[in-house]
């Protein structure tokens, strides 16, 4: 890849990282106003995974996410009007305010759904991949889940079926080594997820990088191998969750993890290192600032739009249950 191509790619990836990070920082800033009446599970710290994987895929490819889904939604759609409106419970939201933060979706942009029951989106992704294969439309499905989901039986059922049926699906484990607040030591009776997964007929990758470009290329390699061999793929990507499991605050005083860990990961913060990379690739500070200013403006405008939008009408309670 030439230097110019690489610069363009990294600018593109930075734009997505910046959007995700700052949309969530905006949530943090406004959450105390108590107008966003929906529990939020923020992606801060993990952005490189959602952005790197989704941007390596084609726009028509599909994704399913968890309750920590803002990053996937934002990078798949690039839009913030319906996003913030949904958090504010407004009729202009993704689901007219009926779903809230934990269930963002955008079928037209390939985001099938997000689920708040751990691992429950995984078999749905397998079915979606089966449909894509049967319809021969060439689409790939990426399903995002936390490492806690690998303790659910349905994860293994789904991995088995995907491997058995040779489905075009990418299992992406966003591995922060925590299930809510429980560390690996109280959850795992085995040594390695990837070692077990390698016994299945699929490709397995793992990495602890926070470099979005590295994750982008890793995913491209995974997609290439999947297409070549007609086998699914599992990628285990480590990250550090900066904030509490649910909510907008830090929780280093809770006693289950240390600030020192956070500070170590912060040195490799995905947004900061990507910005530094852009400078090293010859982007000017003013060029980056202009890009950031545009995104800041988008977020501000969407927030204002969401706040001023109407709540759903009473008749909406009963709408949309049945076709």
Partner 1 sequence: MSRSITYRDAINEAILQEMKRDERVFVYGIDVADHKRIFGSTRGLVETFGPERCFSTPLSEDALTGMALGAAVNGLRPILVHMRVDFMLLGMNQIANMISSFRYGSGGLVNVPLVIRAVIGRGWGQSYQHSKTMHASFAHIPGIKVVMPATPYDAKGMLISAIRDDNPVIFIEHRWLYDAYGEVPEEPYTEPLSQAKVLRSGKDITIVATSWMNVEAVKAAEVLSKAGISAEVIDARSISPFDETVIVDSVKKTGHCIVIDDDWIHCGFGAEVAARVSEQCFGNLKSPVERMGYAATPCPCARPLENLFYPNAVSLIKKIENKFDLEPIDLTGEDFYSYEKKFRGPF
Contacts with partner 1 by CB under 8 A lie at 62, 93-96, 98-99, 103, 105, 107, 112-113, 115, 117, 120-132, 134-135, 153-154, 157-158, 160-161, 164, 319-323
- In whole angstroms, the minimum distance from the beta carbon of 64 to partner 1 comes to 8
Of the two residues 95 and 283, which places its CB atom closer to partner 1 in the complex? 95
User: 75 or 105: whose CB is closer to partner 1?
Assistant: 105
Shortest Å, Cβ 271 to partner 1: 30
Q: In angstroms, what is the minimal distance from the CB of 120 to partner 1?
A: 6
* Residue 44 or 129 having the CB closest to partner 1: 129
Decide whether 129 or 178 has the Cβ nearer to partner 1.
129
* Residue 197 or 248 with smaller CB distance to partner 1: 197
Contact 76, 111 (CB under 8 A): yes
Residue 164 Cβ, how far from partner 1 at the closest point, in Å? 7
* CA–CA dist 194, 196 (Å, integer): 5
> Quick one: 111 or 303, whose CB is closer to partner 1?
111
Cβ closest to partner 1, residue 12 vs residue 98: 98
- Nearer to partner 1 among residue 160 and residue 220 (C-beta): 160
CB of residue 252 to partner 1, shortest distance in Å: 33
Task: Quote the least distance from Cβ 287 to partner 1, whole Å.
Answer: 38
| Contact status, residue 43 vs residue 68, Cβ threshold 8 Å | yes
Run of H or E residues at 249: none
Residue pair 184/150 in contact (Cβ under 8 Å)? The answer is: no
Pairing of strands 203-207, 233-238: parallel
For partner 1, the closer of residues 158 and 219 by Cβ is: 158
Smallest gap, in angstroms, from Cβ of residue 266 to partner 1? 35
Question: How far lies 248's CA from each of 27, 38, 170, in Å?
Answer: 8, 12, 30
Give the shortest CB-226-to-partner 1 separation in angstroms: 18
Least CB distance from residue 92 to partner 1, whole Å? 10
């Amino acid at each position: 890849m030439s230097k110019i191509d690489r610069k363009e790619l990294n600018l593109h990836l930075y734009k997505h990282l910046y959007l995700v990070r700052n949309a969530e920082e905006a949530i943090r800033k406004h959450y105390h106003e108590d107008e966003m009446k929906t529990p939020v599970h923020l992606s801060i710290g993990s952005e490189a995974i959602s952005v790197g994987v989704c941007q390596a895929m084609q726009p028509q490819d599909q994704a399913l996410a968890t309750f920590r889904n803002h990053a996937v939604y934002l990078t798949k759609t690039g839009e913030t009007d319906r996003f913030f409106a949904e958090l504010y419970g407004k009729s202009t939201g993704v689901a007219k305010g009926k779903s809230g933060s934990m269930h963002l979706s955008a079928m037209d942009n390939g985001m099938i759904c997000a689920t708040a029951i751990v691992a429950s989106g995984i078999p749905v992704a397998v079915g979606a991949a089966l449909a894509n294969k049967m319809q021969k439309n060439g689409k790939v499905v990426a399903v995002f889940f936390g490492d806690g989901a690998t303790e659910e039986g349905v994860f293994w059922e789904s991995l088995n079926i995907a491997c058995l049926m040779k489905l075009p699906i990418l299992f992406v484990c966003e591995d922060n080594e925590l299930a809510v607040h429980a560390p690996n030591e109280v959850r795992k009776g085995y040594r390695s997820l990837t070692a077990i997964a390698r016994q299945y007929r699929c490709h397995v990758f793992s990495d602890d990088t926070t470099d979005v470009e590295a994750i982008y290329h890793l995913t491209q390699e995974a997609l290439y191998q999947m297409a070549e061999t007609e086998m699914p793929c599992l990628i285990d990507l480590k990250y550090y969750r900066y904030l509490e499991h649910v909510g907008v605050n830090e929780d280093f005083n809770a006693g289950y993890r240390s600030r020192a860990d956070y500070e170590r990961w912060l040195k490799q913060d995905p947004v900061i290192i990507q910005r530094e990379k852009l400078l090293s690739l010859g982007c000017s500070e003013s060029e980056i600032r202009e890009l950031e200013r545009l995104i800041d403006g988008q977020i501000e405008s969407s927030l204002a739009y969401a706040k001023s939008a109407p709540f759903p009408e009473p008749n909406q309670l009963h709408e949309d249950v049945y076709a």
